Amino acid sequence: MDKIKNKTLIGPFSQILTMEGMANKGPLSDDNLPIILNGGILMEGDKISVIGNFDAMKAKIKDNTTIHLLKGSHVALPGLVDAHTHICFGGNRARDYALRNGGSSYLEIAAAGGGIWDTVTQTRASSKDELVLGIIQRAKDLLSQGITTIEVKSGYGLSVVEEIKMLEAIQEANLSTIPELIPTCLAAHIIPKEHKSNPELYVEIITKELFPEIKRRRLANRVDAFVEQEAYTDKLIRPYFEKAKELGFDITLHADQFTPGGSSLAIEFEAISVDHLEVSTDKEVALLSKSEVIPTALPGATLGLGCTFTPARKLLDAGCSLAIASDYNPGSAPMGDLVTQASILGTFQKLTNAEILAGITYRAANALGRKDLGTLKVDRVANITIYPTDNYQNILYRQGQLKPEIVISKGNILTKTNFS
């Protein structure tokens, strides 16, 4: 890793896609993409100080500027943002995947000892140090894909002690990872087995004991819940979100994955995003279009479960925003390849390149409440993903098989040999 000490000019780029000045909501044409040809990016410390024509910038450099000269054709994008992952976990669920493809239902797999509870059991049995190492390795894998910001959820602890262990692991891993990790408390993932007879008591424990402790220790500023008939119903989850809102947490929801309706709760509680939405109907789409809630499509879950895709085209045409995230988790979305998933979503939902790239850069950053990320702009942090191609269209055309050659995170230049 080459730590930037002074000023560094990097280029020339065949194309720089800044993603700056594009709409936050609604459809996007590829004609909307702001592209700089024969571009250069000047960095000072961890910030971008100039973006423009490489030759003109090179002619003006001073003695204290290092030139990082690129050989061959390259395209620069903002560092990618994965706005929904579960990369803090113990064990794996390869057996679930095999059973699912063999025709077993979700309930049959759970009854056979699989499902989310299997991961809860394995995560509870893992030490914090083991969880930290797992997060770091998965973050390295995501970095190699050009992802410089990763949201990471808890939710496999499902008790005060175990949820804190997970959030501490995310916090500690963030100190040792190059990508920035953004923690989210998902204490309402499923109802713990020990509280099946009285789930209201579990919600009360979480709101009264866990939430204040998270706030006190600054372990997370985001709260999530899985709103489904088989997880947390509208009535059961209300005290959870009411307390989260009272304490000043940002709210996000897993909703409309198997049954519609949970997205209306996201609107009511002014959630920053609502994720999944695979079974959202025209009714939910219309309601979301009248709100500021950002829909987040998770094509990895569709590919892992074999279910329908989020109605991304309908959401955009209705005037919604659209973020796209991997849902990287050990059960329903084990692939963890954001660009591949986003490319496939685009094929099935007929999304433009601009809509896909917006969904994994600045619109994904907006879904995390981080409007300082996802674009290349003067005075913004220098998070840049660089592909070895002369045309940005090749990135999605190759459906994830064209990998970045260079990733710049907070001004640090990393190549394939030192992503790790």
Q: Give the tens place of pLDDT for each residue, 290-305.
A: 999 999 999 999 999 9
Q: Does residue 170 have a pLDDT over 90?
A: yes
Q: What are phi and psi of 2, to 5 degrees?
A: -100, 100
Share of the chain above pLDDT 90, in %: 91
Tell me the C-alpha distance between 83 and 355, whole Å: 16
Report the DSSP beta bridge partners of residue 413. 2, 408
Q: What is the mean pLDDT of residues 392-408?
A: 97
Q: Does residue 3 have a pLDDT over 60?
A: no
pLDDT of residue 204: 98
Report the DSSP beta bridge partners of residue 252. 224, 273
pLDDT of residue 417: 65
Lowest-confidence region among 85-89, 97-101, 321-325? 97-101
pLDDT of residue 43: 96
Band (108; pLDDT cuts 50, 70, 90): confident
How many helices (H) and strands (E) would you count in the chain? 17, 16
The reported pTM is 0.96
Tell me the C-alpha distance between 108 and 120, whole Å: 18
Q: Which residues contact 85 (CB under 8 A, 6 or more apart)?
A: 142, 150, 151, 152, 153, 325, 326, 327, 328, 329, 336
Lowest-confidence region among 94-108, 136-150, 189-203, 252-266? 94-108
Residues 311-339 as b/e (b if ≥16 CB within 10 A, e otherwise) read bbbbbbebebbbbbbbbbbbbbbbbbbbb
Please report, as a single letter, which amino acid is at residue 223: V
Exposed, middle or buried by CB within 10 Å (0-12, 13-18, 19+), for 211? buried
Tell me the C-alpha distance between 265 and 255, whole Å: 9
Q: What are phi and psi of 46, to 5 degrees?
A: -100, 10
Lowest-confidence region among 27-36, 89-98, 380-389? 89-98
pLDDT of residue 104: 87
Q: What is the mean pLDDT of residues 108-137?
A: 93
Q: Does residue 26 have a pLDDT over 70?
A: yes
What is the separation of C-alpha 182 from the centre of its chain, rounded to a whole number of angstroms? 9
Q: Does residue 234 have a pLDDT over 60?
A: yes
Sign of the Cα pseudo-torsion (330, 332, 334, 337, in order) = negative
Would you state the structure tokens that stand for residue 50, as one six-digit string?
């100039």
Closest by Cα among 251, 243, 250 to 212: 243
pLDDT of residue 4: 44
Tell me the C-alpha distance between 34 and 37, whole Å: 10
Q: Does residue 153 have a pLDDT over 60?
A: yes
Tell me the C-alpha distance between 147 and 336, whole Å: 11
Check: CB of residue 90 under 8 Å from CB of residue 119. Answer: yes
Q: Which residues contact 104 (CB under 8 A, 6 or more apart)?
A: 112
Band (418; pLDDT cuts 50, 70, 90): low
Q: Does residue 361 have a pLDDT over 90?
A: yes
The pLDDT mean for the chain works out to 95
Band (420; pLDDT cuts 50, 70, 90): low
Q: What is the mean pLDDT of residues 8-36?
A: 97
Q: What is the mean pLDDT of residues 16-23?
A: 98
pLDDT of residue 37: 98
Q: Does residue 240 have a pLDDT over 60?
A: yes
Q: What are phi and psi of 6, to 5 degrees?
A: -120, -120
Band (419; pLDDT cuts 50, 70, 90): low
Tell me the C-alpha distance between 51 and 100, whole Å: 49
Q: Beta 65-69 vs 75-78: how paired, if at all? A: unpaired
pLDDT of residue 161: 98
Would you state the structure tokens that stand for residue 257, as one six-digit string?
């994955």
Q: What is the mean pLDDT of residues 219-237?
A: 96
